[in-house]
Amino acid sequence: MTARQPQAVADIVAMGAVFPAPNPGSMALPPAAGVESHAAYLCDEPMGKGIVPPNKLRRLGPVQLLALTATGLALRNLDPPIEFGARSAMMVGTGLGELGHTTAFLDAMFTKSPFEMKPTHFINSVHNSLASEAAIVHGFRGENYTLTHNAISFEIALQEGLRVLRAGRADHALVCGADRLTSFGVEAGRRLGWWRSPGSSLDPMQETSPVNGTLPGEGAAALLLVAPGTCEGHARVGRIAAVAARPLAGQDATALDSADETDFLGRVLASAGLSLGDVDLVLYGANGDADLDAAYRRVDDRLADTVPNAGVFKHECGDFMTASALGVALAVDAVRDGQVPPAVRCIRPGTTESLVRTALVYSLSRAGYHSACVTTA
């Protein structure tokens, strides 16, 4: 990230988030797995009741319903209400899109007759079906992007939301990150060695018996952004001060130089006119994987004298490509309320009583990415 990356600033006027149920549930696996199920952080069903228009509940796929729920939660209590239209932009980040309906269509194609391939499943299989339905339901007729780039999908959606506001091409940008589990996806992750043994929960950066592997999860968060100072009668929930996301250029995320990573965080903060000394809370996207947690620990060792509070959040949601959206939602909660949210698990002994005005969300991924997002009050 170069020093000349411009400030990425927007005010947050509304937010919605969908977390999984408090404790890991059990995801049924396909028959070919040879294993009945695997532990996973699963969202409650039915999804979207009371928020998603009833005529869509039956037709839409699980990820679409999740995204509609998150965006619906964000927008439903706006006071005064906003009439969205041609200057309202929608940016959705999703790692895998509506994979469930994609596999359902293909399943029918391979195992049943051509007449049992449901057109609805194909229509929903395009990645932008989430953003499309959200635009239809909420009336967003401006720029509409779906960004899909593994572990930085939400961050790059957020970057483009900030960019369209900064360019003056939109008055609002609704930015959402969403992913849901499928039995196919969980089984693939199991065979690839991503998950730890079934039945465990996550205690990132504080595992008593560290093992490699995490647990799959799902969830979504949506932020309604406006250019700074244009809240128009709506209370500002917080501010996005900076966001950066990059591939690691072939480097192993578990072996990163913590000094380099600290420099990366410093540059992100500097782009917002801030420094590590301004950060009151750092939220790590640690996922309980022993080697990855160790990488986060090495960074935290460098920040511990400067940043008073440090915590993790994936014990609440498991790991998935857009999980950082939930991390950012918690960061926004923190700066809105001025304190570490109860859902955040602090990783250093003794939480300080310092007021939280600036929160930093830092994520590393074994897939080869790192990202940072700064929220302020």
Partner 1 sequence: MTDGGRIAVTGFGMVSAQGWSADEAWDGIEHGRDGLAPLSMFRTARDEPVPAGQVNGDPAERSGLDHGSRSDHLAVCAARQAFEGAGLGAAADALPRETGVVLGACTGGMLDSERFLEQALLDGTVDMELLRHHECASTTNAVARALSLSGPVNTVSTACTSGAAAIALACDWIADGEADVVLAGGVDSLTRLTVNGFSSLLIVAPDGCRPFDADRKGMSLGEGAGVLVLEREDDAIRRGARIRGYVLGAACTCDAHHATAPSPDGDGIQRAMRSAMDAAGVTPDDIGYINAHGTGTPDNDAVEGKAILEVFAGGVPPVSSTKRFFGHTLAAAGAIEAVLSLLAIEKQRIPANLGCVTPDPEIGLEPLRETRDAAVRYVVSNSLGFGGNNASLVLAGVSAEGAGQ
Q: Which residues bind partner 1 (CB under 8 A)?
A: 2, 4-6, 30, 32, 86, 90, 95-97, 102-103, 105-107, 109-111, 114, 117-119, 122-129, 131-133, 135-136, 138-150, 156, 160, 163, 166-167, 184, 188, 191-192, 246-247, 249-250
Distance separating the N- and C-terminal Cα atoms of the chain: 24
Rama region for 229: left / alpha / beta (φ>0; ψ in -120 to 50; rest): left
Q: CB of 351: closest distance to partner 1 in angstroms?
A: 36
Which residue in 5, 328, 76 sits closest to 177, CA to CA?
328
Q: Which secondary-structure segment (H or E) carries 27?
A: strand 25-28
Q: CA 18 to CA 218: how far, in whole Å?
A: 9
Q: Which is nearer to partner 1, 65 or 131 (CB)?
A: 131
Q: CB of 125: closest distance to partner 1 in angstroms?
A: 7
Q: Which is nearer to partner 1, 84 or 296 (CB)?
A: 84
Which residue in 332, 322, 373 sits closest to 218, CA to CA?
322
Q: Which is nearer to partner 1, 69 or 148 (CB)?
A: 148
Q: Which is nearer to partner 1, 164 or 202 (CB)?
A: 164
Q: Which is nearer to partner 1, 135 or 347 (CB)?
A: 135
Q: CB of 297: closest distance to partner 1 in angstroms?
A: 27
Q: Output the six-digit token pair for 349.
A: 């002994």
Could you tell me which residues are beta bridge partners of residue 40? 25
Q: CB of 280: closest distance to partner 1 in angstroms?
A: 28
Which residue in 295, 281, 254, 290 sits closest to 356, CA to CA?
281
Q: CA 75 to CA 8: how far, in whole Å?
A: 23
Q: Measured on CA atoms in the order 22, 181, 153, 188, is the torsion positive or negative? A: positive
Q: CB of 211: closest distance to partner 1 in angstroms?
A: 21
Q: Which is nearer to partner 1, 246 or 302 (CB)?
A: 246
Q: CB of 29: closest distance to partner 1 in angstroms?
A: 12
